[in-house]
Chain A
Amino acid sequence: MRLVMDTVEEEFVEIPIPIPSSTSSSSMAKRPCPSQNPRMELENLLYQFLSLSDRPSLSLDLSFENLLQSMPPDTDLIDRALKMGSLLLDAAKHSSRKRASNHNSIVWPLPPDLTFKIFSMLDTQSLCYVSAACSFFSKCAKDPLCYENLDLTTLVPKVNNAVVATMIQRAGKALRSLKLGVVPATACSPGFCQPMVSTIRKAIVEAPNFSWNDKRSRQGRESSVLTRCCLSPLSGDGGAPGALLRKLHLYNIERMDSTSLCGALSACPSLLDLEIVGIHVELRQTLMSVSANCHLIERLFFESSRTGRDDSLKAQTCSELVNNCPNLTSLSLRGFKLHDCKVRILVKGFRKLKYVDFSSSYSITGNFLRNLGNCNGGNLLEVLILRDCMHLKEMEVIRFLTAILAGDFKLLMHLDISNREGLACEADWYHRCYSSNNMPIKQVLEARPDMRLVAEYPSEGSYAETFDAEMNSDISLQFSSPTSDGSIFMSTSESSYNSDHGSGNEEGQDAVIYGESSDEDNNMNL
């Protein structure tokens, strides 16, 4: 090898050393005279070589080729050139990065703790982009406080278990809120709203820029789909991430099942707000798990993935839930088969219950509302939503409205008894009552001007609402429009009652609202 080195040196000496032109703007600065130090020798060689770049007619490839031809045929000159070229390239890039980092630290003088203060105010997606700006930001963005509220929901399946795991791990015990899954776009512009889609398939088809070919081509590579154990990181690290988790919202995670969900819930004893939409889990098992693990729970929102077919709820489950979770103030069970007797246990039993939503439920007739207004549970009710309950009887509704007129349910602010199929007639639920003429709606509104009453029914044979102007309560056309984060805002008297995801059966029809819409914060933007 030494031999070859000498050869190269000799060759090098023969090439005239260029004197950097002083008029060239890219010329290199002059260096002090080389000394005999071997390290300096290498640096000088490097300097000489790099000075070549000033040469106006540099033909490095030609010189290299000539050199190669003058060497014995078994020479490894090409390998050397490749190796040295690569080493030089790496060195230059490394130094360039170092200088960029230094530059960054001058330009951004804030220490990490102030930097990630800004980052902690960003949503999860924006955080990913910010952390890719430079290495300092990347470091700052790893602080647990930036991951306090994780929103990993997407329009189509894109998040996989690895992403979830990374984020949860970074949050550690700072994790307070986790939203995960597929939330279809509502594609609303102010003023009207298209029907919500709850199935992933339809959502995928309607999502922009997504093609089935994309999905197929990803099959070979790592899956972009969440599997059943996507929430297992909550239990990891001694259960630290789940321990202080307050909010868990899960949407349309196809592969999640009861066991994995219940496993996740067992890691979240501090849970206050649980929202589960379109997950293939059994209501009873889920409620049992909540009962067993989440005693502090304040809000439960379940929407079935198999509308009307989950019949699992048992009376005992309801009793246990009532006993173990006394803090519940908001209960939504949508799309399940619920029986009046069981529902009654729930509504009577939760002493702090204010918000109830049993939309799209099957089997309940409204019987559970009887004699509810003057006892423990029920008289605190502020919101009651019984939209599209197929077996809800007109007679029970009339009874309920009469009870309101009699002075019960003093705190009730919002009542929704709309049904796109009309209410069930007493004898046979196949027969529908389409008009609201039998119901004392006007009287209720007169007696309770502060209440908002929604009662949309199709006129017989059609689905359009036609309400005469002779109805002389305040009629204001209101539309559902999403809040700024894309969720459907249910108009209630308290803005905390937000539903992040509508029922698959709800259609955004024009709602004719009876009653005063005096609360500014309830108004939907037209």
Chain B
Amino acid sequence: MAQEASSSTSSKTISLKTGDGEIFEIEASAAKQMKTVQRLIDDLGDDITIPLHNVFSKELPKIIEYYKKDITGEITKDFEAEFVKDLNDDEVKVLFLAANYLDANKLFEFLSQNIADRLESKSVEYVRKYFGVENDFTPEEESKLREERAWSFRGIKEDE
């Protein structure tokens, strides 16, 4: 039956196939950080290309880049700042959802914080636009919510 990838062979790479058919290689130790991938390895063996239906070739390289840095222990504040600097809000969201799918905890936490930072002091409309959600409140609920936040006095940033 399928054996767990031996952690002593640290140079071993795993093949990952994205939802749109592209194949990427990662180190076995990096794959360990993505629990979904690790589970699939445990089930299917580490010689098989692991299929990732919900992750695509646009975001997987970025995720791999993050964990490549992680296994060498080089993730610093500077690296993290650089990592998200050029990402627009949508790209961060897609990465965040991918990290969730892959059960990649460290990246997930980091991106959660980044999304929270992007939402700080933003208006309601901005938040809606960012997540792509629509207003589904009744007028009464809306006015109640408006009342609840009436105390927040600090200036809200202009929508970008």
A binds B: yes
CB neighbors of A among B87-128 (8 A):
97, 100, 112-113, 115-116, 119-124, 127-128
Q: Which of A108, A133, A160, A163 contacts B124 (CB 8 A)?
A: A133
Contact (Cβ within 8 A) A154 B135: no
Tell me the smallest distance from the CB of B36 to a CB of chain A, in Å: 14
Q: Are A154 and B133 in contact (CB under 8 A)?
A: no
A126 with B121: in contact, given A132-B146, A158-B150, A224-B151 (CB under 8 Å)? yes
B119→A122 contact, CB < 8 A: yes
Bitwise interface map of A from 472 to 513 toward B, beta carbon under 8 Å scored 1, else 0: 000000000000000000000000000000000000000000
For residue A451, CB closer than 8 A to chain B, the reply is no
A17 on interface, CB distance cutoff 8 Å: no
Is B160 interfacial (CB 8 A cutoff)? Answer: no
Q: Which of B24-32, B58-66, B68-76, B136-144 contacts A (4 or more CB under 8 A)?
A: B136-144
Report, as a range, how many residues of chain B touch the other chain.
20 to 34
Encode contact with B along A146-158: 1 for CB under 8 Å, 0 otherwise: 0000001011101
Residue of B97, B100, B136, B154 most packed against chain A (CB within 10 A):
B136
What's the minimum C-beta distance from A233 to chain B, rounded to whole angstroms?
15
Interface of chain A, main secondary structure: helix
Closest-CB distance, A101 to chain B (whole angstroms): 4
Q: B156 at the A/B interface (Cβ < 8 Å)?
A: yes
Which residues of B lie under 8 Å from residue A158 when comparing CB positions? 150-153
User: B85 contacts the other chain (Cβ, under 8 Å)?
Assistant: no
Does B82 touch A at the CB level, under 8 Å? no
Q: Check: A104 CB closer than 8 A to any chain B CB.
A: yes
Instruction: Say whether, besides A125-B121, A134-B128, A103 and B156 are in contact (CB < 8 Å).
Output: no
> Is residue A57 contacting chain B, with contact meaning CB distance below 8 A?
no
Q: With A110-B100, A122-B119 in contact, is A133–B154 under 8 Å at CB?
A: no
CA distance in complex: A98, B138 (Å): 11
Q: Which chain A positions have C-beta within 8 A of B146? A: 132
> How many chain A residues have a CB neighbour from B under 8 Å?
42
Q: How far is the CA of A332 from the CA of B121 in the complex (A)?
A: 32
B134 at the interface (CB under 8 A from A): yes
Smallest beta-carbon distance A517→chain B, Å: 23
Choose from A104, A109, A135 the contact partner of B97 (Cβ within 8 Å): A109
A25 within 8 A of B: no
Closest to B127 in A: A133
With a CB–CB cut-off of 8 A, which chain B residues contact A126?
119-122
**A166 contacts B by Cβ under 8 Å:** yes
Whole-angstrom distance between the Cβ of A164 and the nearest chain B Cβ: 9
B77 part of interface (Cβ distance < 8 Å): no
Complex: A90 Cα to B3 Cα, angstroms: 61
Other CB < 8 Å A-B pairs besides A128-B148, A128-B152, A130-B127, 19 of them? A97-B136, A101-B136, A103-B133, A108-B131, A119-B116, A126-B119, A126-B122, A128-B149, A129-B149, A130-B119, A131-B145, A132-B146, A134-B134, A134-B135, A134-B136, A135-B137, A138-B145, A154-B154, A155-B154
A residues in contact (CB < 8 Å) with B: 93, 97-98, 100-101, 103-104, 107-110, 114, 117-119, 121-126, 128-138, 152, 154-156, 158-160, 163, 166, 224
